[in-house]
Amino acid sequence: MEWQITDRQFTIRIRTPRELHFWIKTIAMVTCCDFILRIQHYFWPIIPNEVADVVLNLYYIFFILGIYITINYFKKPRKVIINFDSGTFRYFYFLASRKYYFAEVECIRIATDMSKALTKLKGNMYHRVYLKLRKQSFLFLGEFDDDQQLNLFINELRNVFDVHVDKLHKVGRKLSKEVRLGRYTIEKEISRGGMGKVFLARDDFMQKAVAIKVLPANLALKYDHANNFARETRILQKLRHPNIIQIYDVGREKGKKTDIYFYAMECIHGKPLSFFIKEKAITIEQSVRYAIQLSLALDYIHSHKVVHRDIKPENILIRNEGSCVLIDFGIARDISIRYKKIYKRVFRHQPEISHHVGTLPYMSPEQISAHHDIDYRTDIYSLGITLYEMLVFKRAFTGNSATILRAIPTSTPTPPSKENPRVPQSLDTIVMKAIAKNKNKRYQSGALLANDLHNWLHDIVVEKQQLNLWQSLSQKFLHFFQG
């Protein structure tokens, strides 16, 4: 669609799909009739030649007229002259290129089609823009799948016509002002990932904003995705912590082919940690404070036999008041004894609970290697890599996927103080211990990591490394003779 607005003239290529579809259907119908007449006339010559000639002439007339209409439709922009005083405009009608028609605009209508957004993971919300005229007629202007282009176009239209905007939503053939999932009214899409989409919604019962995570219908048909979604909801329902996203409700909505599964969670007013890292808008002290909060959150979920397996800046939200929240438990795993037995016996070959899940630059060495069991210490490693990135504003491992895959088990990142001189060397000790290749040499719990970070924050010296038995006895022996 091409459009341009000046002071007194509004030039636009107005699309009228109903008229175009009518002529296409007419040509198709006449073509079918012509084909049937030719077949019957050849095999069963009972139709007079005069009738066949008339049908052929009509076919040629409609065909030429259809070509003419199609060319005009695609190539000829029409001008709309605005009368600001009366609130009317005149425009070229579709078939009468030299004739002007007057119309009064009542409102601008935006019909948002939510069908693909709710049923397909990669489907977008399409916005169709109409001008509502007198006598309840609508003039179709175009279709947008980009919110910025839509808002720009709508603002220009409002400046020209000075009318209100009527927003409607569409699911399937139903057109309404609201799209609902249970007691929740969908407003807009916030984000999407491999396990579903997240929408901003309004809880009509509690009268507050919530975030709705939806498993699109095309994924609900697959057992693996439906099972992962159910596991995620079960994990979130048993977690209650100020630094973990809180789930409110779980629901299911009837669909045409399959049901739409969703759950409602708290709406976080803030931005992801990745935004602050990209903008370099985070201090060393803030980084340590966020790492303490996340360490305590990890210690809590590990006490409930849950491993997150996807700790990264994109899955950490910073509230406007300053606290952080851990989100997206889509690939989290329950490592309770009962589940572990089932995993070893039945599900060890299923991809959704295999080692190779997560985000590659933040995966631990044991996540990459299939020869080591994954436990809670993989989250400690990922948090250490995230803290490293907060301190130096770049990832610990860079390059393509193959390079990172080789580097994680073998290469040790440069200490943060070497990358950023403002990072104290005493903080290197904590970070490098958290990202140790051997999981037995890392912090064995989130509480221990939080304790060392807290001590560093309050100027308490942290030992560079844990002494072994021989070093400990040597120190005691030396102190005994010196004392």
Q: What residues act catalytically?
A: 310
CB-count burial class (<10 Å; 0-12, 13-18, 19+) for 97 = exposed
> Is the CB of residue 331 less than 8 Å from the CB of residue 341?
no
Measure the CA dihedral 203/209/214/217, to 10°. Answer: 50
Token output for 54: 């008339």
Contacts of 202 (CB under 8 A, 6+ apart): 184, 185, 187, 208, 209, 210
Task: Please list, residue by residue across 306-322, b when 16 or more beta carbons sit within 10 angstroms of its beta carbon and e when fewer do.
Answer: bbbbbbbbbbbbbeeee
Residue type, 370: A
Count of residues making up the chain: 483
CB-count burial class (<10 Å; 0-12, 13-18, 19+) for 379 = buried
Within a 10 A sphere around the Cβ of 182, how many other Cβ atoms?
A: 17
Reported in sequence order, the residue ranges of 234-366 that DSSP labels E, i.e. its strands, are 247-253, 260-266, 270-272, 306-307, 316-319, 324-326, 333-334
Is the dihedral angle over the CA atoms 304, 309, 311, 317 positive or is it negative?
A: negative
| Closest of 260, 255, 258, 108 to residue 199, by C-alpha | 260
